[in-house]
Amino acid sequence: LRCLPVPKRRYDEVMAHLRLNFFADEPLNRAVGLCKRGENHLELEKHCLATLASRMSCMIVDENDKIAGTALNGIVKRGERDENERRLAELRDPKFKSIFALLFKINEKCDIPNKYGVDEIFECRILSVDESFRGRGLANLLVENSIRIAKSNGFKIMKADATGLFSQKVFLKYDFNVITEIPYSDVEPSLRPGPPHKALKLMVKILN
């Protein structure tokens, strides 16, 4: 297995991997029944492609060059709150909108750029491992590589909105701290992931 940057010519393959392994499976997507395995979701796809465009994402490929996992990394900029609120208002799928509203809400609880005195933050936005490769440390490898990418691009702060227990375990292992969280028991039932996932956690690592 090798971890590499995602070249533009492989965006279609990355999207196919995400449709099979992330779109239906991420805890909040699954809770709302966002889509079936392998099915597309236009607004989520747009979000993924916009993140890939930052050119800071990485992927793991197996010995046959098949994509086994990806970390889609983007940039959070100081002062983009209003823009995010506008984008949220424009979302059309109510299920997708309810997820983004929750992510918006947790980020409202803490203005990270302001808290750490930086203009830009490196965000690990979408962490996805092929179902047949899970539980073998690939997410750890993707986060480790993403930290390297963040550091080499001069970022001082890295964050993730970690929605499930397994991604939270990985970020904790790499010394991310939970800055704030929303327990799923406080979330409306139609958006509430089942066990073992307990809370949405905004996690931050100071890079040095």
- Residue closer to ligand ACO (CB basis): 2 or 173: 173
Footprint of ligand ACO on residues 172-191 (CB under 6 A)?
173
**Should residue 52 be labelled a site residue for ligand ACO when binding is judged by CB under 6 A?**
no
- Residue closer to ligand ACO (CB basis): 77 or 169: 169
Strands (E) across the chain are located at: 2-5, 58-61, 67-77, 120-129, 157-162, 177-183, 199-206
Integer angstrom CA distances of residue 5 from 11, 57, 61: 11, 6, 11
Angle between helices 165-173 and 138-152 (to 10 degrees): 50
* Cβ proximity of 98 and 141 under 8 Å: no
Q: What are the tokens at 106? A: 């947790």
What are residue 177's DSSP bridge partners?
204
- Closest distance of CB 199 from ligand ACO, Å: 12
- Residue closer to ligand ACO (CB basis): 140 or 180: 140
Number of residues that bind ligand ACO (CB under 6 A): 27
Footprint of ligand ACO on residues 64-93 (CB under 6 A)?
none
Footprint of ligand ACO on residues 23-42 (CB under 6 A)?
25-27
Check residue 51 and report its DSSP letter: H
* Residue in 170, 187, 199, 204 binding ligand ACO, rule: CB under 6 A: 170
- Closest distance of CB 94 from ligand ACO, Å: 21
Check residue 191 and report its DSSP letter: G
**Should residue 129 be labelled a site residue for ligand ACO when binding is judged by CB under 6 A?**
yes
End-to-end CA distance of the chain: 27
Residue type, 105: K
Which span (51-59, 90-98, 157-165, 178-186) binds ligand ACO, by CB under 6 A? Answer: 157-165
Integer angstrom CA distances of residue 144 from 9, 28, 58, 93: 24, 24, 10, 34
**Should residue 135 be labelled a site residue for ligand ACO when binding is judged by CB under 6 A?**
yes
Residues making contact with ligand ACO (CB under 6 A): 21-22, 25-27, 124, 126-129, 134-140, 160-164, 166-167, 169-170, 173
